[in-house]
Structure 1
Amino acid sequence: MEEKMIRCENVTFRYENSGNDSDKLALNDVTLDVKKGEFLVILGRNGSGKSTIAKHMNALLIPSEGKVYVGDLETSLEKNVWDIRNKAGMVFQNPDNQIVATIVEEDVAFGPENLGIEPGEIKKRVDDCLKKVNMYDYRRHAPHLLSGGQKQRVAIAGVLAMMPECIIFDESTAMLDPSGRKEVIRTIKDINSKYKITIVLITHYMEEAVKADRIIVMDEGKVIMKGTPKDIFSQVKKMKDIGLDVPQMTELSYELRNSGLDIKKDILTIDEMVDELCRLK
């Protein structure tokens, strides 16, 4: 049986004092699993609940009803919070909010120092983690002089240095330009495939979801779709009906099919599109 990294069981969450709409549920009876070692993407438009569920996975929020487990640890028990945050690290939208030191290597050392790791081991972890995110050459630089993508990679190294089993990325590419986004996604994919760290990526960029093992789509606080990228994105009309896009090549194949061309509907990448068009010759 596949091991579960995170389990959300019938999770309902209400934000306190959310104005006059007192019944507004941010999460409405959400049940989902994150498998150990997988790269899971959670998609949804603004207000769908995707960031709220991410914060439950790291015990930043506690369910109003239902349970969340990280490994065997239930998030609502105060005594588990420290261990949960060591198991499941989090990288947020704005890297400036996660960078605490004036030198890159000191910033990456901050987490392990707080865990009480001994100095020799910290030095080794800092060097290893900066190499993993291709930022080792910048170890003595000032973080505020780096690009957005580089800062975000330093933030990832800081989480990696605490050796979590899982990292949750809460719209961590939202503030980056396209090249910064590519850098960060490549880094995320690498740490998942090379180091078997479980990844949960919350995003509204469809192209980022193409590389996932599995996608969960949320809307109005509920899970409405689950499946592989090909399963999810081939349902173009359903995605558009809930206000989401699909990758450009999927959109193109959808339009070509509508024009009468006999072409696969689950095309995700340019390479797949080229192959398919060559087949039609």
Structure 2
Amino acid sequence: MKETMINCNNVSYKYRANENEEEKYAVNGVTFKVEKGEFLAILGHNGSGKSTIAKHMNALLLPTEGTVVVDGLDTSNSECLWEIRAKAGMVFQNPDNQLVATIVEEDVAFGPENLGIDPKEIRERVDDSLKKVGMYEYRKHAPHLLSGGQKQRIALAGILAMQPDCIILDEPTAMLDPSGRKDVLNYIKEVNEKYGITIILITHYMDEAAQADRLIVMDNGKIILEGKPREVFSNVKKMKELGLDVPQVTELCYELRKEGININSNILNVDEMVNVLCQLK
């Protein structure tokens, strides 16, 4: 039986846009678990609550109602905050907001230094983390001279150097070009598959979500769909009602089925599509 990394139980979060308005639910009664070593993607349009729930998973926000437990530690216990954030690191949308030093290797060392790690071990962690994300050769460079994708990989290396059990990525590729997006996602997948680190990816890109082990789709602060990518994306009509896309080949299958062609509706990529079309008579 797999161990639980994060357990969100009946989590709600209320906020006020301004003093004169009534409280609103950003997250409303959300319950789910994330297993250790899992790659979970959370989808939803702007305002769906996906980024709010992400910030609960390393105690940047605390629930108005319900509980969030990270590897056995309750986020409402203020004495556990540092330990929780060491276990569940977070990478944000804009890498420039996470880079604090003028040299790449100094930036990656920043987190471990704050944890009080021995300098010799920090050196080893920095080199190891930069190699994991393919940025070791840039260790003496200035971060501000790097591309967006390279900066995001440095931000990821900074979290890896803290040796977390889980990494939460809040739309990490939103500001990148397609090439940068592809590179960052490949390194995220490698970190998950090769090193067993739990990944929680908040995204609005369907092609990224399709590569996860499991999907959660949120709308209006609630979980609307949950399951493996094939299961979730086969609900094309429901996804469109939520204002979300599905992978292009999945949508093509959906349209072909509407025209009476007997084709599987849970196809996710071009290779699968080609194989199925070749088998049609």
Specify the alignment match of 2:210 in structure 1: 210
User: Residue 18 of structure 1 contacts residue 24 of structure 1 at CA under 8 Å; is this kept in 2?
Assistant: no
Specify the alignment match of 1:182 in structure 2: 182
SS of equivalent to 2:230: helix
SS of equivalent to 1:5: strand
Map 1:230-269 → 2, pairs under 5 A: 230-269=230-269
User: Residue 15 of structure 2 contacts residue 23 of structure 2 at CA under 8 Å; is this kept in 1?
Assistant: no
Q: Higher mean Cα deviation, 10-19 or 110-119?
A: 10-19
- Superposed displacement of residue 186, structure 1: 0.4
Q: What RMSD, in angstroms, separates the aligned Cα atoms of the two structures?
A: 1.0
Q: Higher mean Cα deviation, 269-278 or 19-28?
A: 19-28
Runs of 5+ consecutive residues of structure 1 not aligned to the other structure: none
Distance 1:125 1:105 in 2: 10
- Superposed displacement of residue 3, structure 1: 0.9
Specify the alignment match of 2:169 in structure 1: 169
Q: 1:16 to 1:77 in 2, by over 3 A?
A: farther
Specify the alignment match of 1:48 in structure 2: 48
Structure 2 counterpart of 1:71, which letter?
A: D
User: Residue 93 of structure 1 contacts residue 171 of structure 1 at CA under 8 Å; is this kept in 2?
Assistant: yes
Specify the alignment match of 2:74 in structure 1: 74
Distance 1:18 1:216 in 2: 30
Distance 2:135 2:63 in 1: 37
Specify the alignment match of 2:93 in structure 1: 93
- Superposed displacement of residue 12, structure 1: 0.8
Distance 2:179 2:97 in 1: 21
Structure 2 counterpart of 1:233, which letter?
A: F
Distance 2:169 2:38 in 1: 14
- Superposed displacement of residue 103, structure 1: 0.7
Distance 1:46 1:18 in 2: 19
Specify the alignment match of 1:11 in structure 2: 11
Distance 1:152 1:109 in 2: 15
Structure 2 counterpart of 1:12, which letter?
A: S
Specify the alignment match of 1:39 in structure 2: 39
Distance 2:213 2:19 in 1: 38
- Superposed displacement of residue 253, structure 1: 1.0
Distance 1:61 1:247 in 2: 32
Given the two structures, how large is their TM-score scaled by the length of structure 2? 0.98
Specify the alignment match of 1:276 in structure 2: 276
Specify the alignment match of 1:193 in structure 2: 193
Distance 1:21 1:195 in 2: 46
- Superposed displacement of residue 16, structure 1: 3.7
Specify the alignment match of 2:27 in structure 1: 27
Distance 1:187 1:88 in 2: 18
Runs of 5+ consecutive residues of structure 2 not aligned to the other structure: none
May I ask how many residue pairs the two structures share in their alignment? 281
Specify the alignment match of 2:102 in structure 1: 102
Specify the alignment match of 2:160 in structure 1: 160
Distance 1:17 1:131 in 2: 43
- Superposed displacement of residue 20, structure 1: 4.7
Structure 1 counterpart of 2:5, which letter?
A: M
Structure 2 counterpart of 1:209, which letter?
A: A
